[in-house]
Amino acid sequence: MSDRIPAEAERVFTTTIEKDQRVEPRDWMPDGYRKTMIRQIAQHAHSEIIGMQPEGAWITRAPSLRRKAILLAKVQDEAGHGLYLYSAAETLGADRGDLTRRLIEGRQKYSSIFNYPTLTFADVGVIGWLVDGAAICNQVPLCRSSFGPYARAMIRICKEESFHQRQGYELLMTMMRGTEAQREMVQDAVDRWWWPSLMMFGPPDAESPNTAQSMAWKIKRHTNDELRQRFVDMSVPQAEALGVTLPDPDLRWNADRGHHDFGEIDWTELKRVISGDGPMNAERLAHRRRADEDGAWVREAAAAHAAKRQGVPA
Amino acid sequence: MSGEIKHEWPLFEVFVRAKRGLNHVHVGSLRAADHEMALHHARDLYTRRNEGVSIWVVRSDDVVASGPDDKDAFFAPSGDKVYRHPTHYAIPDSVPHI
């Protein structure tokens, strides 16, 4: 099995990528590819799991049974997405429990967007519209990732994300038809989430040293700045239709480029939040750690019950 | 009491039949304490939106698979044996229904 000479194995790997075919878990792959894929998938999985918290906080306070049911379904989806992704990471030899420990101990990251607080119910709508909208921009190209299990998980996730974005936008449309106070609440939420949403695409291309290798391996299909531009162009008409203002005085259509120009992003803020100093970093990790510890007895009891039923002494 | 409780639940592979008349297709994996829990988790995780009418769960360590390097031994011969394919046989166009 493994006595094949490395040069031949590497040639097969390179050809597979060049022909736009998928790399599957049992194929030979360079160590760097495996490590990068595990890191990328784990960070994505962690983001889905931590991403349950900002909206989960509103489930008990949703203003109607309909909104509560929608929010429950959405947060359940986020949990599902996390589990699809941990499943993909395990095909590469990563261990789910180990990945959770790395998250809890702060050794692996998750998307910086979830380190911002959800102050009003309008935030639930804006997260669906802008945060999930940005996530869709990022994720649709990943359905063509060269790593098969990740690409397949992304296809399932993207189908479900569409519900997330539409429920958010519909929630905001409903609030915009309401009282003046509700409209102000929506605008306030847009003002707070717009710039962090743009940061979701990562640092500018000039400061993204891994992009070239990731593009060559086809685990990244577009650069950060390309995807960010696509998101801005998509969001502008959606904001107009909603009747809100995007908080950027430099945002305007550029006919020469065929795209919207937009203002400079505060990269020091992104760096600060990524390095752990965002408004909610400590709370998000503490909550995840508590959930893991509180669930430990359930996992142990289930394992003991299974062992007992199999007749194996626990 | 005796021995050590294993806290890490085993891995299960999940197969879903999308609708009657189709094969079960592999959709992913999950962790569960036993087969019954694996089935319940598979229902929650992989069939939240009418994705299926039937689920199989199989312990991942019970799956025996060919490796990518077994390609020649396992899969090359069918390429050699062209006489296994219907197009290998020349039949005049005038012969109907064959």
Question: What is the torsional sign of CA A253, A114, A58, A48?
Answer: positive
Question: What is the torsional sign of CA A306, B11, A49, A64?
Answer: negative
Tokens of A301: 């009891």
C-alpha closest to that of A172 among A111, A206, A139, A130 = A130
> ipTM more than 0.90?
no
At CB < 8 A and 24+ separation, what contacts does B31-34 make? B31/A96, B32/B57, B33/A299, B33/A302, B33/A303, B33/A305, B33/A306, B33/B9, B34/A302, B34/A305, B34/A306, B34/A309, B34/A310
Banded pLDDT at B8 (limits 50, 70, 90) = confident
Taking contacts as CB-CB distances below 8 angstroms, the residues of chain A near B13 are none
Question: What is the torsional sign of CA A217, A220, A223, A224?
Answer: negative
Q: Which of B2, B5, B49 sits opposite A303 (nearest CB)?
A: B5
- One pLDDT digit (tens) per residue for chain A, 314 residues: 445 567 888 999 999 999 999 999 999 999 999 999 999 999 999 999 999 999 999 999 999 999 999 999 999 999 999 999 999 999 999 999 999 999 999 999 999 999 999 999 999 999 999 999 999 999 999 999 999 999 999 999 999 998 999 999 999 999 999 999 999 999 999 999 999 999 999 999 999 888 899 999 999 999 999 999 999 999 999 999 999 999 999 999 999 999 999 999 999 999 999 988 999 999 999 999 999 999 999 999 999 999 999 886 55
- Judge whether residue B69 has pLDDT over 70: yes
Residue in chain A closest to B47 (alpha carbons) equals: A80
Q: How many CA atoms lie within 13 A of B27 on its CB side?
A: 25
| Closest chain B C-alpha to A5 CA, distance in angstroms | 11
pLDDT tens digit string along A235-256? Answer: 999 999 999 999 999 999 999 9
Residue in chain B closest to A87 (alpha carbons) equals: B29
pLDDT tens digit string along A274-312? Answer: 988 999 999 999 999 999 999 999 999 999 999 999 886
> pTM for the complete prediction?
0.91
Amino acid letter for position A57: A
Amino acid letter for position A254: N
Residue in chain A closest to B60 (alpha carbons) equals: A91
- What's the count of helices (H) and strands (E) in chain B, helices before strands? 3, 3
In degrees, rounded to 5, the angle at the alpha carbon of residue A44 between the alpha carbons of residues B59 and A133 is 125
| Interface residues of chain B, partner chain A, Cβ below 8 Å | 1-3, 5-9, 11, 27-31, 33-34, 37, 44-45, 48-49, 65, 67-70
Cα separations (Å) of B27 from A37, A78, A126, A164, B16?
Answer: 19, 17, 32, 22, 7
